[in-house]
Structure 1
Amino acid sequence: MTERGFWHGRSGLVVPALLAAWTTYLLVGVLTMEVPEGTDFPGPRFFPNILIVAGYALCALLVLHYLRSPEPVDTDHGDPTDPGTARWRTFTDWRAVAWCVGGFLVFALTIEVLGWIVAAAVLFWCVARGIGSTRALFDATLALVVSSAIYLAFAQGLGLNLPAGFLLGGM
Protein backbone atom coordinates (compact mmCIF):
# COMPACT_ATOMS: atom_id res chain seq x y z
CA MET A 1 0.00 0.00 0.00
CA THR A 2 1.36 3.41 -0.95
CA GLU A 3 1.45 6.30 1.47
CA ARG A 4 -0.78 9.12 0.28
CA GLY A 5 -0.18 12.77 1.04
CA PHE A 6 -2.37 15.21 2.90
CA TRP A 7 -3.95 16.57 -0.31
CA HIS A 8 -5.13 13.16 -1.53
CA GLY A 9 -8.93 13.46 -1.77
CA ARG A 10 -8.94 17.04 -0.54
CA SER A 11 -8.95 18.95 -3.82
CA GLY A 12 -12.35 20.30 -2.76
CA LEU A 13 -10.50 22.69 -0.43
CA VAL A 14 -10.04 24.92 -3.46
CA VAL A 15 -13.72 25.94 -3.27
CA PRO A 16 -13.60 27.34 0.29
CA ALA A 17 -10.28 29.02 -0.56
CA LEU A 18 -11.91 30.85 -3.48
CA LEU A 19 -14.96 31.70 -1.36
CA ALA A 20 -12.71 33.02 1.42
CA ALA A 21 -10.85 35.20 -1.09
CA TRP A 22 -14.13 36.63 -2.42
CA THR A 23 -15.47 37.17 1.10
CA THR A 24 -12.25 38.94 2.12
CA TYR A 25 -12.54 41.17 -0.96
CA LEU A 26 -16.09 42.01 0.12
CA LEU A 27 -14.90 42.69 3.69
CA VAL A 28 -12.24 45.13 2.45
CA GLY A 29 -14.90 46.89 0.38
CA VAL A 30 -17.21 47.22 3.38
CA LEU A 31 -14.43 48.47 5.65
CA THR A 32 -13.36 51.13 3.14
CA MET A 33 -16.93 52.19 2.27
CA GLU A 34 -17.76 55.79 3.07
CA VAL A 35 -21.11 55.98 4.85
CA PRO A 36 -22.60 59.43 5.38
CA GLU A 37 -23.29 60.57 8.94
CA GLY A 38 -26.84 59.96 10.15
CA THR A 39 -27.55 57.06 7.79
CA ASP A 40 -30.63 55.20 8.96
CA PHE A 41 -30.68 51.50 9.79
CA PRO A 42 -30.09 49.15 8.01
CA GLY A 43 -27.69 51.26 5.93
CA PRO A 44 -25.46 50.28 3.02
CA ARG A 45 -23.26 47.93 5.10
CA PHE A 46 -26.09 45.75 6.42
CA PHE A 47 -26.56 43.31 3.55
CA PRO A 48 -22.83 42.98 2.72
CA ASN A 49 -22.16 42.20 6.40
CA ILE A 50 -24.70 39.37 6.25
CA LEU A 51 -22.92 38.02 3.16
CA ILE A 52 -19.54 38.29 4.88
CA VAL A 53 -20.69 36.32 7.93
CA ALA A 54 -22.39 33.71 5.74
CA GLY A 55 -19.33 33.48 3.47
CA TYR A 56 -16.87 32.85 6.28
CA ALA A 57 -19.25 30.43 8.02
CA LEU A 58 -19.67 28.46 4.80
CA CYS A 59 -15.89 28.45 4.30
CA ALA A 60 -15.35 27.04 7.78
CA LEU A 61 -17.99 24.36 7.29
CA LEU A 62 -16.56 23.32 3.91
CA VAL A 63 -13.00 23.16 5.25
CA LEU A 64 -14.17 21.09 8.19
CA HIS A 65 -16.04 18.74 5.85
CA TYR A 66 -13.07 18.16 3.52
CA LEU A 67 -10.63 17.72 6.40
CA ARG A 68 -12.84 15.20 8.21
CA SER A 69 -13.93 13.19 5.17
CA PRO A 70 -11.76 13.47 2.08
CA GLU A 71 -13.40 12.53 -1.21
CA PRO A 72 -12.52 9.05 -2.42
CA VAL A 73 -10.33 9.17 -5.50
CA ASP A 74 -11.12 6.72 -8.29
CA THR A 75 -7.75 5.27 -9.23
CA ASP A 76 -9.03 2.68 -11.74
CA HIS A 77 -9.53 4.66 -14.92
CA GLY A 78 -9.14 1.73 -17.28
CA ASP A 79 -6.99 2.10 -20.36
CA PRO A 80 -6.83 5.82 -21.25
CA THR A 81 -6.03 4.98 -24.88
CA ASP A 82 -9.24 2.92 -25.23
CA PRO A 83 -12.38 5.12 -24.89
CA GLY A 84 -14.46 2.00 -24.22
CA THR A 85 -12.65 1.15 -20.98
CA ALA A 86 -11.68 4.59 -19.67
CA ARG A 87 -13.82 5.50 -16.64
CA TRP A 88 -13.79 8.92 -15.02
CA ARG A 89 -15.44 9.82 -11.74
CA THR A 90 -16.48 13.32 -12.77
CA PHE A 91 -17.16 15.32 -15.87
CA THR A 92 -18.12 18.88 -16.82
CA ASP A 93 -21.58 19.60 -18.16
CA TRP A 94 -20.59 22.25 -20.69
CA ARG A 95 -24.21 22.78 -21.71
CA ALA A 96 -25.08 23.84 -18.16
CA VAL A 97 -21.99 26.03 -17.95
CA ALA A 98 -22.90 27.71 -21.25
CA TRP A 99 -26.48 28.45 -20.14
CA CYS A 100 -25.34 29.91 -16.80
CA VAL A 101 -22.42 31.95 -18.14
CA GLY A 102 -24.46 33.08 -21.15
CA GLY A 103 -27.30 34.14 -18.87
CA PHE A 104 -24.93 36.14 -16.70
CA LEU A 105 -23.38 37.85 -19.74
CA VAL A 106 -26.82 38.80 -21.08
CA PHE A 107 -27.73 40.11 -17.61
CA ALA A 108 -24.53 42.16 -17.31
CA LEU A 109 -24.80 43.60 -20.82
CA THR A 110 -28.51 44.44 -20.80
CA ILE A 111 -29.36 45.46 -17.22
CA GLU A 112 -29.29 49.19 -18.01
CA VAL A 113 -31.55 48.82 -21.06
CA LEU A 114 -33.91 46.10 -19.84
CA GLY A 115 -33.85 47.06 -16.17
CA TRP A 116 -33.44 44.81 -13.15
CA ILE A 117 -36.78 43.02 -13.40
CA VAL A 118 -36.42 41.78 -16.98
CA ALA A 119 -32.64 41.27 -16.97
CA ALA A 120 -32.69 39.32 -13.69
CA ALA A 121 -35.65 37.25 -14.94
CA VAL A 122 -33.63 36.32 -18.04
CA LEU A 123 -30.69 35.37 -15.81
CA PHE A 124 -32.87 33.23 -13.52
CA TRP A 125 -34.51 31.57 -16.54
CA CYS A 126 -31.13 30.76 -18.12
CA VAL A 127 -29.82 29.26 -14.86
CA ALA A 128 -32.98 27.14 -14.56
CA ARG A 129 -32.42 25.86 -18.12
CA GLY A 130 -28.77 25.25 -17.30
CA ILE A 131 -29.58 23.04 -14.33
CA GLY A 132 -31.98 20.98 -16.40
CA SER A 133 -35.45 22.49 -16.14
CA THR A 134 -37.65 21.88 -19.18
CA ARG A 135 -40.66 23.96 -18.08
CA ALA A 136 -39.85 27.17 -19.93
CA LEU A 137 -43.13 29.03 -19.30
CA PHE A 138 -43.22 28.14 -15.60
CA ASP A 139 -39.54 29.13 -15.22
CA ALA A 140 -40.11 32.47 -16.98
CA THR A 141 -43.15 33.24 -14.81
CA LEU A 142 -41.34 32.30 -11.61
CA ALA A 143 -38.28 34.30 -12.71
CA LEU A 144 -40.41 37.42 -13.25
CA VAL A 145 -42.09 37.01 -9.86
CA VAL A 146 -38.77 36.53 -8.04
CA SER A 147 -36.99 39.38 -9.84
CA SER A 148 -39.96 41.67 -9.17
CA ALA A 149 -39.96 40.74 -5.48
CA ILE A 150 -36.22 41.44 -5.25
CA TYR A 151 -36.71 44.77 -7.03
CA LEU A 152 -39.45 45.76 -4.58
CA ALA A 153 -37.37 44.64 -1.58
CA PHE A 154 -34.37 46.70 -2.63
CA ALA A 155 -36.16 49.71 -4.13
CA GLN A 156 -38.99 50.09 -1.63
CA GLY A 157 -37.73 48.25 1.44
CA LEU A 158 -34.12 49.43 1.47
CA GLY A 159 -34.47 52.57 -0.63
CA LEU A 160 -31.77 51.48 -3.08
CA ASN A 161 -31.95 52.24 -6.78
CA LEU A 162 -31.85 49.30 -9.15
CA PRO A 163 -31.95 50.01 -12.87
CA ALA A 164 -35.58 50.42 -13.94
CA GLY A 165 -35.10 49.96 -17.68
CA PHE A 166 -37.86 50.43 -20.21
CA LEU A 167 -40.63 48.98 -18.01
CA LEU A 168 -40.62 51.85 -15.52
CA GLY A 169 -39.67 54.63 -17.90
CA GLY A 170 -35.93 54.42 -17.28
CA MET A 171 -33.13 54.63 -19.85
Structure 2
Amino acid sequence: MPAQLAVGASLVLMSAVLAVGASRFPAEKGFTVLGAHVYPYAVAVFLGIVGVSISLQAAGLRSPADVSDGITGAIPGGKAGALWVTAGLTICALLIAHIGFVLAAALLFACSAQGFGSRHPARNLAIGIALALPVYWLFTIGLGVSLPPLVNAWI
Protein backbone atom coordinates (compact mmCIF):
# COMPACT_ATOMS: atom_id res chain seq x y z
CA MET A 1 0.00 0.00 0.00
CA PRO A 2 1.88 3.05 -1.23
CA ALA A 3 -0.35 5.53 0.61
CA GLN A 4 0.16 3.75 3.92
CA LEU A 5 3.90 3.62 3.33
CA ALA A 6 3.89 7.35 2.58
CA VAL A 7 2.08 8.05 5.86
CA GLY A 8 4.57 5.94 7.80
CA ALA A 9 7.56 7.58 6.13
CA SER A 10 6.06 11.03 6.75
CA LEU A 11 5.69 10.27 10.45
CA VAL A 12 9.29 9.09 10.66
CA LEU A 13 10.41 12.29 8.91
CA MET A 14 8.32 14.44 11.26
CA SER A 15 9.84 12.55 14.17
CA ALA A 16 13.35 13.35 12.96
CA VAL A 17 12.53 17.03 12.39
CA LEU A 18 10.98 17.28 15.85
CA ALA A 19 14.02 15.62 17.45
CA VAL A 20 16.37 18.04 15.69
CA GLY A 21 14.23 20.95 16.89
CA ALA A 22 14.20 19.59 20.43
CA SER A 23 17.98 19.30 20.41
CA ARG A 24 18.16 23.07 19.93
CA PHE A 25 16.18 23.79 23.12
CA PRO A 26 18.24 24.95 26.08
CA ALA A 27 19.06 22.16 28.54
CA GLU A 28 18.60 24.27 31.65
CA LYS A 29 15.50 23.49 33.63
CA GLY A 30 14.80 26.91 35.10
CA PHE A 31 11.88 26.72 37.50
CA THR A 32 10.59 23.37 36.19
CA VAL A 33 11.50 19.81 37.11
CA LEU A 34 12.09 18.78 33.50
CA GLY A 35 13.69 20.83 30.75
CA ALA A 36 11.70 22.14 27.80
CA HIS A 37 13.35 19.59 25.48
CA VAL A 38 11.91 16.51 27.21
CA TYR A 39 8.38 16.68 25.79
CA PRO A 40 9.35 17.26 22.14
CA TYR A 41 11.75 14.31 22.44
CA ALA A 42 8.96 12.15 23.87
CA VAL A 43 6.62 13.11 21.02
CA ALA A 44 9.42 12.51 18.49
CA VAL A 45 10.02 9.00 19.86
CA PHE A 46 6.30 8.23 19.81
CA LEU A 47 5.92 9.49 16.22
CA GLY A 48 8.97 7.50 15.17
CA ILE A 49 7.61 4.28 16.68
CA VAL A 50 4.20 4.76 15.07
CA GLY A 51 5.79 5.69 11.72
CA VAL A 52 8.06 2.64 11.69
CA SER A 53 5.15 0.40 12.71
CA ILE A 54 2.93 1.75 9.91
CA SER A 55 5.78 1.43 7.41
CA LEU A 56 6.46 -2.19 8.40
CA GLN A 57 2.78 -3.01 8.13
CA ALA A 58 2.59 -1.35 4.68
CA ALA A 59 5.62 -3.35 3.52
CA GLY A 60 3.96 -6.57 4.67
CA LEU A 61 6.55 -7.24 7.37
CA ARG A 62 4.04 -6.87 10.20
CA SER A 63 0.41 -7.95 10.28
CA PRO A 64 -2.28 -5.63 11.61
CA ALA A 65 -3.11 -6.12 15.29
CA ASP A 66 -6.27 -7.96 16.20
CA VAL A 67 -8.62 -5.19 17.25
CA SER A 68 -11.81 -7.20 17.53
CA ASP A 69 -12.18 -6.78 21.32
CA GLY A 70 -14.88 -4.15 21.74
CA ILE A 71 -14.52 -2.76 18.22
CA THR A 72 -17.14 -3.29 15.57
CA GLY A 73 -16.15 -5.19 12.45
CA ALA A 74 -17.02 -2.33 10.11
CA ILE A 75 -14.62 0.45 9.35
CA PRO A 76 -15.37 3.14 11.94
CA GLY A 77 -16.23 6.66 11.05
CA GLY A 78 -18.88 8.09 8.84
CA LYS A 79 -21.24 10.80 9.94
CA ALA A 80 -22.02 9.21 13.31
CA GLY A 81 -18.32 8.86 14.14
CA ALA A 82 -17.63 12.45 13.13
CA LEU A 83 -20.52 13.61 15.30
CA TRP A 84 -19.14 11.73 18.33
CA VAL A 85 -15.67 13.24 17.89
CA THR A 86 -17.14 16.72 17.34
CA ALA A 87 -19.35 16.31 20.41
CA GLY A 88 -16.30 15.30 22.46
CA LEU A 89 -14.34 18.36 21.32
CA THR A 90 -17.29 20.64 22.05
CA ILE A 91 -17.89 19.13 25.49
CA CYS A 92 -14.21 19.45 26.32
CA ALA A 93 -14.06 23.08 25.22
CA LEU A 94 -17.23 24.05 27.09
CA LEU A 95 -16.59 22.19 30.33
CA ILE A 96 -12.82 22.25 30.86
CA ALA A 97 -13.00 25.37 33.06
CA HIS A 98 -15.80 23.83 35.13
CA ILE A 99 -14.89 20.17 35.56
CA GLY A 100 -11.13 20.44 35.15
CA PHE A 101 -8.63 19.18 32.60
CA VAL A 102 -8.65 15.51 33.57
CA LEU A 103 -12.40 14.95 33.37
CA ALA A 104 -12.79 17.07 30.23
CA ALA A 105 -9.96 15.18 28.49
CA ALA A 106 -11.41 11.84 29.64
CA LEU A 107 -14.80 12.77 28.15
CA LEU A 108 -13.08 13.77 24.92
CA PHE A 109 -11.30 10.40 24.82
CA ALA A 110 -14.52 8.47 25.56
CA CYS A 111 -16.48 10.32 22.85
CA SER A 112 -13.67 9.86 20.34
CA ALA A 113 -13.40 6.14 21.12
CA GLN A 114 -17.18 5.85 20.65
CA GLY A 115 -16.85 7.63 17.31
CA PHE A 116 -14.16 5.18 16.22
CA GLY A 117 -16.35 2.18 17.01
CA SER A 118 -15.78 1.22 20.65
CA ARG A 119 -18.85 0.03 22.51
CA HIS A 120 -17.50 0.22 26.08
CA PRO A 121 -18.16 3.78 27.34
CA ALA A 122 -17.28 3.12 30.99
CA ARG A 123 -14.00 1.49 30.05
CA ASN A 124 -13.24 4.32 27.62
CA LEU A 125 -13.85 6.89 30.35
CA ALA A 126 -11.54 5.00 32.72
CA ILE A 127 -8.83 4.81 30.04
CA GLY A 128 -9.31 8.53 29.37
CA ILE A 129 -8.77 9.34 33.04
CA ALA A 130 -5.73 7.04 33.17
CA LEU A 131 -4.22 8.86 30.17
CA ALA A 132 -5.15 12.39 31.28
CA LEU A 133 -3.80 12.16 34.84
CA PRO A 134 -0.14 11.66 33.89
CA VAL A 135 -0.44 14.40 31.26
CA TYR A 136 -1.87 16.74 33.90
CA TRP A 137 0.91 15.91 36.35
CA LEU A 138 3.65 16.20 33.73
CA PHE A 139 2.46 19.60 32.61
CA THR A 140 1.70 21.07 36.04
CA ILE A 141 4.59 19.54 38.01
CA GLY A 142 7.11 18.84 35.26
CA LEU A 143 6.77 22.00 33.21
CA GLY A 144 5.02 24.32 35.63
CA VAL A 145 2.22 24.96 33.13
CA SER A 146 -1.07 25.90 34.72
CA LEU A 147 -3.87 23.63 33.51
CA PRO A 148 -7.42 23.76 34.86
CA PRO A 149 -7.41 21.89 38.19
CA LEU A 150 -8.25 18.22 38.54
CA VAL A 151 -11.74 19.17 39.66
CA ASN A 152 -13.02 22.73 39.63
CA ALA A 153 -16.05 23.62 41.72
CA TRP A 154 -19.06 25.24 40.08
CA ILE A 155 -18.62 28.45 42.06
Q: Answer 1 or 2: higher relative contact order, Cα 8 Å, separation at least 6.
A: 2
- Superposition RMSD on alpha carbons, in Å? 4.0
Farther off after superposition, 51-60 or 119-128: 51-60
> CA offset at residue 49 of structure 1?
0.5
Contact 1:125 1:139 in 2 (8 A): yes
Counterpart-to-counterpart distance in 2, 1:162 and 1:28:
27
TM-score, normalization by structure 1: 0.56
Which residue does the alignment assign to 1:123?
A: 108
Structure 1 residues 103 and 20: alpha-carbon distance in aligned structure 2, compared to 1, 3 A threshold: farther
Amino acid at match of 1:12: Q
After TM superposition, list the pairs within 5 Å mapping 1:20-169 onto structure 2: 20=12, 22-23=14-15, 26-27=18-19, 29-31=21-23, 33=25, 42-68=34-60, 93-94=77-78, 95-108=80-93, 111-112=96-97, 114-144=99-129, 146-156=131-141, 158-164=142-148, 167-168=151-152
Contact 2:77 2:115 in 1 (8 A): no
Q: How many residues align structurally?
A: 143
Whose Rg is larger? Answer: 1
Counterpart-to-counterpart distance in 2, 1:14 and 1:133:
27
User: Which ranges in structure 2 are unaligned for 5 or more consecutive residues?
Assistant: 62-73
> CA offset at residue 120 of structure 1?
0.4
Q: Report % sequence identity.
A: 21
> CA offset at residue 123 of structure 1?
0.6
Structure 1 residues 131 and 36: alpha-carbon distance in aligned structure 2, compared to 1, 3 A threshold: same
TM-score, normalization by structure 2: 0.60
User: Which ranges in structure 1 are unaligned for 5 or more consecutive residues?
Assistant: 1-8, 70-89
- For residues 106-146 of structure 1, the C-alpha deviation after alignment (integer angstroms, 9 at most, x for no partner) is 43565455531232022112023223344444544553454
More helix by percentage = 2
Counterpart-to-counterpart distance in 2, 1:159 and 1:144:
20
